[in-house]
Structure 1
């Protein structure tokens, strides 16, 4: 399996969207599950660069997305 390289907010947003869809969730489902507003979920998935990192990490945790730092 190829691991996507995340280099931009847009890359991370696409990864979050892909995982959400793979889990069969709608944006509003994820928003309710994560305690994040629907516009925020949409903005993050669309690569908004000024999204709060804590909210982005919350979505990742709730979707089971693991982030790693590579040397």
Structure 2
């Protein structure tokens, strides 16, 4: 579970690198400046959530609410 902005940044960095794209590539893909991606990956807590979620999606991250899977249980 991601519980801090630093952990989110670390996971975003890993996901982006796994795709073989640069911070600039990711920034261009979601229409933000490269500085936003740099700050996000460093765990800056003031990052805008909508842009952070767009970056995560563009880097191939899948964000889910753990409570949903706990309450719904496995599919039958």
Q: How far apart in 2 are the matches of 1:39 and 1:18?
A: 18
Q: How far apart in 2 are the matches of 1:58 and 1:69?
A: 17
Show the counterpart of 2:32. Answer: 36
Deviation at 1:51, TM superposition (A): 0.3
Deviation at 1:33, TM superposition (A): 1.1
Which stretches of structure 1, 4 residues or longer, exceed 6 Å deviation after superposition?
Answer: none
Q: How far apart in 2 are the matches of 1:52 and 1:36?
A: 11
Structure 2 unmatched runs, 5+? 68-76
How many corresponding residue pairs?
67
Cα RMSD after superposing both structures: 0.8
Q: Which structure shows the higher helix fraction?
A: 2
Structure 1 unmatched runs, 5+? none
TM-score by length of 1: 0.88
TM-score by length of 2: 0.83
Deviation at 1:7, TM superposition (A): 1.1
Show the counterpart of 2:58. Answer: 62
